[in-house]
Amino acid sequence: MKRGLSIFWIALALACFFGASRLNAPLLELRKSHHISQSDPLDNAPPLVTFTTVALGGFRGILADILWMRAADLQEKGKVFELVQLADWITKLEPRYAEVWTYHGWNLAYNVSVLFNEPADRWRWVRHGIGLLRDEGLRYNPGNADMLYQLGWIYQHKIGQDLDDANKFYKQSWASEMMRLFDGPAPDYSALAAAPATREAFLQTPGAADLVRGIEAAGFDPYSAELLGSNLPPAVATALEGSPATTDLKAYVRRRALAEVYKLDPAIMQEVDAAYGPLDWRLSQAHAIYWAWRSRKVGKGFAIVQADRMIFQSLFEAFRQGRLFVSPKTGQFLPSPNVDLAPRVRKAYEDALAAHADNETIRTAHKNFLREAVEMLYTFHRTREAQEMLTDLQTRYADEENKGTLEEFVFRKLLEDGSVDLKAVTGNDALQMIESHFHQAAIWSLAGDPERAAGFEARAIAYYREFRKNHEDPDWWGRVGVPEPAEIRASARARAQQDFDAMQAQRPR
Amino acid sequence: MRPVLAIAVITIRSAIRSRIMLCLIALLVAIVAGLPLTVKGDGTAAGYAQIVIGYTLGLSGVLLAMATLWGGCAAISSEIADKQIQMLVSKPVGRGQIWLGKWAGLMAMNALLLGIAVGSTQVLLKWSPGGAGLSPEERGKLFHSVLVARREVRPVLPDVEGPAAARFAELEKAGKIPADADPDDAMDMVRRSLRVEAGAIGPGQGRTWQIEMPEPPAPGSSLTLRFKFSAATLGSNPMRGVWIVGPPSDPSSYRAAVTNAPAAYGELAIPGDAVKSATTLTLSYANIDDTGTTVFFEADDCIAVMLPAGGFGGNLVRGALVVLAQLAFLAALGVTAGTLFSLPVAAFMSIFVMMLLLSAGFIQDMSTKRSFFGRPQQASTAQKAANAGLRGLYGAMAILTRPMDFDAPWSDIATGRLVNWQRVGKSGAVNVVLYGGLVALLGIYVFNRREVALPSS
């Protein structure tokens, strides 16, 4: 009798649990529709997070505070090994507060990274910051405009700019990773679309099962993004070489890594490229634009203004140093101006001006872009485009500093830049100046004017020497200095040859 | 002695039979086996080892502390409540022996469980992060800075009290201290500014520190200098400097150029042979950064020299002994509380005392606070009385808690810092002999006088 009663109670409890679980979803819907809950239920959350947030109730805030204080204390003492775990717990306790995620992502990428001396150590922490926002924060707050913007900010500012001494390492590491992922400067959208969408679909490919078995036998994960790298174990390389399914496997791994590791949607990338590109996706600016684009789509009010700013600022930066030249000598990526982007950047500014007509900062940014674009286009021998930009500049912003002919304007601007203290000039600006002169020299040399070519060449070398003289510290030079003149010249000559060929092709026959 | 042992064995048996103890062992196993699989380190083997040591052993310690208090409180109070105590006290066993037997039984269980946790962690660390996948650099960092025991010595900072008093008098004379300023606060600011000045190194300048060495470095060994500075400019760009070991004027002194970012801890290996004096290490830093920025070595944790002092295993064992001594006190507290009160009251009281001990740092801070209500000069009579009362309360609590070492040693072990035998001895003397003994005497005294077989009980 007693046993039967126990069974009855257990059965009743199970029935109640079942009933409660069936009622839960409609109740949540009712709460949402009547606006009586402070926040929507968590989507996509693992059971542990859902349980923690529900079971701890209001007390989870206290627990988060305690963990937060511990994190601050440890960070102060330089004991950072726990911070990833603490950030994970704190954010999981408050999964819906976007500010908590953005603070911790920023803290890891900015404040903790600089507690290290080695660029590789710093880069690991920048990645932790990106990972926290991209892989976790956006999972619990999909479509949160601020979080998307903050993620873009790390790409635009921390990696893209040169305020951190390790920025070259960040750029190089990110570019290598993207190069491996895309097998070039940008994704092959049609190949991605044609790639097997699932593992099962790939395994239907002839030879796929044998290839997977061969790679697994070498102790390697056949679906890992590592498979796209060049330093594969010999057994894996052999298996890949001899299989008809290799192309499909790599395409599948690429598609999967893009979506699951980097959270990049090829359809959105294509939209971004159509609007502003073609972008070099090995560069952080392209990724800043991608996340800003996504933020703009879901944002409202000021979120749109800041996303627009990120887009045109990143485009401007891509214009200034959005072309990667791989040094044949060192294998390093050398960023240099991507003058082809000028019309796209101009359009982005114009779109932003049209959308936020009363925003003075956007007008100032637009004017600065036009001024710099005129100079850069001129020095890269795009005289017609430079003249067009100058006319636009003079029409819109009739200031004293913008007056004069193209030559007068550029000469005056060069003089202004020349009066700048070279100690304060960044490596990127110096590189741009030197390469543009080498480019001019190469163009004039190809055009058969060796005298003018020699003049530009001499100015490039003189600028390099002067810049070098102002930065004698070998450590500083190693971190943020510019490459040797021979390397910059090689990059400029390659570009000049392309430009010259294009000019020749356009000439009337 | 035999009755004590017999009661200890009974306590262990009943603990093993108890569901709470079984849950505890299961939880402990789950922590030791499961936690390392779930924690997120910083992506390095050294970071992973540090977090495993800190979390696994720290959580095991907390779990054992709670269980010890609960088990201690229940040891006598539940026997009284269940009327089992009559069976025991009617035997030819003294009340003191019963008390000691219960305590010894709990401590045997604690030693066993702590041993399991520490042993498993040691095995895990030897087996897991030191695996074949590590690069030589990672392996070096792991075995050089985490899985070691290093003694930390720091320079003696200059005494600023005398100069601070002189500077304060000067400022007061010049009328630069506002009339409504709290003199103690103003004096604090003067002290702080003198400390900053003492640690400031301008461009092209240098500064020297003397460090008393506990023993001369062994031939062929190397020391590690750990340092951190802040800079007078914003930003994180690394700055150049030179460390000199020995008199700076001596050209044969060891010199090493370093590039370190402000606020980042830098490490420099110093060959043992570079230390020429057996008793004092002279260290100098020259600021040669060409940005013309002043750097500051402000606080006492800005410079430390780490000396090799043994292996990780020995350090772990000494750390476990410190924790065992803390558990011994908690066991004594629990058993005594159980002789004084019923189980719920005893548990509540013991947890309160434990929380108090864990707040020792806060209590010490409060005991040095000059005012709790209002500014000292402007406080009303009631505020002054309240301030005096609180100061007295915190002062008394600070006197009681100050000698106790309730800081878990796991953080030191995780960062490769030596837990020496002196600390083990001090923890044993204070937690077991002094405080544990006093609590035991109280418990035995009360137990001896208490009527345990009242018909109503």
Dihedral over alpha carbons A318, A319, A321, A323 (to 10 degrees): 80
Q: What is the pLDDT of residues A491-508, one digit of tens each?
A: 888 888 887 787 666 544
- Mean pLDDT of the region A59-69: 83
DSSP characters over A208-223: HHHHHHHHHHTT--TT
A80 in reach of chain B (CB within 8 A): yes
> Cβ separation of B261 and A114 shorter than 8 Å?
yes
Tokens of B338: 């159980």
Q: Is B311 helix (H, G, I), strand (E, B) or coil?
A: strand
> Cβ separation of A78 and B261 shorter than 8 Å?
no
Interchain CB contacts (distance < 8 Å): A and B: 64
* Residue A403 φ/ψ region, left for φ over 0, alpha for ψ in the -120 to 50 degree band, beta for the rest: beta
Which residues in chain B have Cβ-Cβ distances shorter than 8 Å to A82? Answer: 50-51, 54
Residue B456 has pLDDT above 60, yes or no: no
- What amino acid occupies position A138? L
> Cβ separation of B54 and A82 shorter than 8 Å?
yes
Alpha-helical regions (H) of B268-380: 312-340, 343-358, 360-367
Q: Is B417 helix (H, G, I), strand (E, B) or coil?
A: strand
> Cβ separation of B263 and A114 shorter than 8 Å?
yes
**Range of lowest pLDDT (A286-300, A399-413, B261-275):** A399-413
**Range of lowest pLDDT (A40-49, A369-378, B108-117, B118-127):** A40-49
Tokens of A17: 């649990």
- Mean pLDDT of the region A340-363: 85
Q: Is B273 helix (H, G, I), strand (E, B) or coil?
A: helix
Using CB atoms within 10 Å of the CB of residue A170, give its burial: 0 to 12 exposed, 13 to 18 middle, 19+ buried.
buried
**Looking at CA atoms only, how far is residue A334 from chain B in angstroms?**
22
Nearest CA in chain B to A76: B263
Q: Which of A80, A82, A107, A165 to mutate to test the interface with B (most CBs of B within 10 A)?
A: A82
Residue A172 has pLDDT above 80, yes or no: yes
B42 in reach of chain A (CB within 8 A): yes
Strands of B333-450, DSSP E? none
A136 in reach of chain B (CB within 8 A): no
> Cβ separation of A84 and B261 shorter than 8 Å?
no
Distance CA A264, CA A289 (A): 12
Which residues in chain A have Cβ-Cβ distances shorter than 8 Å to B54? Answer: 82
Residue B299 has pLDDT above 90, yes or no: no
Residue A209 has pLDDT above 90, yes or no: no
Nearest CA in chain B to A126: B42
Tokens of B101: 């037997």
Nearest CA in chain B to A475: B259
Residue B276 has pLDDT above 80, yes or no: no
- CA A17 distance to own-chain centroid: 47
B44 in reach of chain A (CB within 8 A): yes
> Cβ separation of A81 and B260 shorter than 8 Å?
no
Per-residue confidence (pLDDT) for residue A223, from 0 to 100: 84
Nearest CA in chain A to B40: A85
- Among all chains, which residue has been given the structure tokens 């806060």? B362
Report residue A290's pLDDT band, with 50, 70 and 90 as the boundaries.
Answer: very high
- Enumerate residues 6+ apart whose C-beta is below 8 A from A245: A202, A205, A206, A207, A208, A210, A211
**Looking at CA atoms only, how far is residue A89 from chain B in angstroms?**
10
**Range of lowest pLDDT (A200-204, A255-259, B98-102):** A200-204
**Looking at CA atoms only, how far is residue A382 from chain B in angstroms?**
37
Q: How many CA atoms lie within 13 A of B242 on its CB side?
A: 13
Average pLDDT, chain A: 82
Nearest CA in chain A to B237: A165
B292 in reach of chain A (CB within 8 A): no
Tokens of A471: 């930065």
Per-residue confidence (pLDDT) for residue A40, from 0 to 100: 56
- Mean pLDDT of the region B152-158: 84
- Mean pLDDT of the region B444-455: 81
Nearest CA in chain A to B262: A115
**Looking at CA atoms only, how far is residue B291 from chain A in angstroms?**
10
Which residues in chain A have Cβ-Cβ distances shorter than 8 Å to B228? Answer: 78
Q: What is the pLDDT of residues A107-120, one digit of tens each?
A: 999 988 888 888 88
Q: Are residues A466 and A411 in contact, defined by beta-carbon separation less than 8 angstroms?
A: no
- Among all chains, which residue has been given the structure tokens 């002094």? B434
**Looking at CA atoms only, how far is residue A362 from chain B in angstroms?**
27
CB atoms within 10 A of CB B425: 13
Distance CA A373, CA A409 (A): 12
Residue B129 has pLDDT above 60, yes or no: no
> Cβ separation of B39 and A473 shorter than 8 Å?
no
**Looking at CA atoms only, how far is residue B50 from chain A in angstroms?**
7
Record the pTM.
Answer: 0.73
Instruction: Please give the share of chain B, as a percent, with pLDDT higher than 70.
Output: 95
- What amino acid occupies position A131? G
Which residues in chain A have Cβ-Cβ distances shorter than 8 Å to B229? Answer: none
Report residue A155's pLDDT band, with 50, 70 and 90 as the boundaries.
Answer: very high
Instruction: Please give the share of chain A, as a percent, with pLDDT higher than 90.
Output: 11
Higher-confidence position of B395 and B45: B395
Q: What is the DSSP letter of B377?
A: G
- Mean pLDDT of the region A284-307: 91
**Range of lowest pLDDT (A17-31, A283-297, B165-179, B372-386):** B372-386
- State which of A235-239, B134-138, B264-268 shows the largest mean pLDDT: B264-268
Q: What is the pLDDT of residues B23-77, one digit of tens each?
A: 887 888 888 888 877 777 777 888 888 888 888 888 888 889 988 998 899 888 8
> Cβ separation of A124 and B44 shorter than 8 Å?
yes
Residue A147 has pLDDT above 90, yes or no: yes
- Mean pLDDT of the region B346-351: 91
Element (H, E) at B227: strand B222-227
CB atoms within 10 A of CB A46: 11
Nearest to B51 among A82, A124, A165 (CB): A82
- Buried b / exposed e over A50-86, threshold 16 CB at 10 Å, is eebbeeeeeebeeebeebbeebeebbeebbbbbbbbb
Q: Which of A75, A79, A117, A471 to mutate to test the interface with B (most CBs of B within 10 A)?
A: A117
Which residues in chain A have Cβ-Cβ distances shorter than 8 Å to B264? Answer: 78, 114-117
ipTM score above 0.85 = no
Most distant CA pair in chain A, distance:
111
Nearest to B228 among A78, A124, A165 (CB): A78
Q: What is the pLDDT of residues A116-145, one digit of tens each?
A: 888 888 999 999 999 999 998 988 888 889
Nearest CA in chain B to A114: B236
- Mean pLDDT of the region A12-38: 80
Rg (C-alpha) for chain A, rounded Å, is 28
Which residues in chain B have Cβ-Cβ distances shorter than 8 Å to A81? Answer: 41-42, 44, 46-48, 50-51
Residue A509 has pLDDT above 50, yes or no: no
Tokens of B345: 């009251």
Average pLDDT, chain B: 85
Residue B130 has pLDDT above 60, yes or no: no
- CA A68 distance to own-chain centroid: 29
Per-residue confidence (pLDDT) for residue A508, from 0 to 100: 43
> Cβ separation of A475 and B259 shorter than 8 Å?
yes
Which residues in chain B have Cβ-Cβ distances shorter than 8 Å to A78? Answer: 228, 264-265
Nearest to A117 among B41, B235, B260 (CB): B260
My answer on whether omega of the bond before A474 falls inside 30° of 0, hence cis, is no
